[in-house]
Amino acid sequence: MSVPAELGYTNEHEWVAVADGVATVGITSYAAEALGDIVYVEPPEVGATLTAGDTCGEVESTKSVSDLYSPVDGEVVDVNRAAVDEPEVIGSDPFGQGWLFKVELSGDPADLLTPEQYTTLTEGEG
């Protein structure tokens, strides 16, 4: 399992990269592996206002449907249409081409886990 050191993480297995007041959000490799073959993704719409911790979309695999939770507060400014059109990229490259959406932050990201904390979380679940 990959846990890039430059990212923040959530208990719901999303990752967050913040640059210039915009958070890029995706699901972790742990989540992608647990889901299996991802066949559908429904990210939030551009323009939607998100609140950290609230459900904002879903990811469907051949095994199950999982909710996406917003890790940050703000407005959705971009959605990865390539991942919507070809959701298998989420499983094959979750930290790169498989990102899901971008949010213009309305405040500081709260309560993100460090890579070390996230690794401990997933080890406890495995």
pLDDT digits (tens, 9 = 90+) for 39-58: 999 999 999 999 999 999 99
Q: Which of 69, 65, 76 is nearest to 102 (CA)?
A: 76
Domain assignment present for 122: no
Q: Which tokens belong to 45?
A: 């719409």
pLDDT higher than 70, residue 126: no
Which domain covers residue 21, as residue numbers?
A: 8-104
In a domain, 119, yes or no: no
Strands (E), the chain: 8-9, 14-19, 22-27, 38-42, 49-50, 55-61, 65-69, 74-79, 101-105
116 in a structural domain: no
Q: Tell me whether residue 125 is in a domain.
A: no
The count of domains in the chain is 1
Task: Give the tens place of pLDDT for each residue, 58-117.
Answer: 999 998 999 999 999 999 999 999 999 999 999 999 999 999 999 999 988 778 999 999
pLDDT in tens, 22-42: 999 999 999 999 999 999 999
At which residue do the structure tokens 């990102």 appear? 99
